[in-house]
Amino acid sequence: MSAEAGPEEPLAATVGYLIKTLRALGRSGNPDGANRLAAQAWLALRDDAPRQAERINGAMHYLARLPQVTRPGTTSSPDTMEEA
């Protein structure tokens, strides 16, 4: 990180990693679960970091277009998702 880096740069990088992870989770067959996590991140960012919340919003739109894959013995219900 350079001396000229703004205070939002680490947050922007972290949100970028989160988006990559959410997309990977969605492509692995759990876009609904990934979208729920993205929605929680959006809620946490919307007031204090609206630019980053908008990036998460874009990821949610991407995830909403992915097909839901249901494998035997798995579920994406909110009850099976762990809270952070």
pLDDT tens per residue across all 84 residues of the chain: 455 567 679 999 999 999 999 999 999 999 999 999 999 999 999 999 999 999 999 999 999 999 987 666 655 554 455 555
pTM for the whole thing?
0.74
Rounded Cα gap, residues 51 and 20, in angstroms: 17
Q: 53: burial class by Cβ within 10 Å (0-12, 13-18, 19+)?
A: middle
Which residue matches tokens 């949100």?
Answer: 15
What does the H/E/C string look like for 27-70? Answer: HCCCHHHHHHHHHHHHHHHCCCCHHHHHHHHHHHHHHHCCCCCC
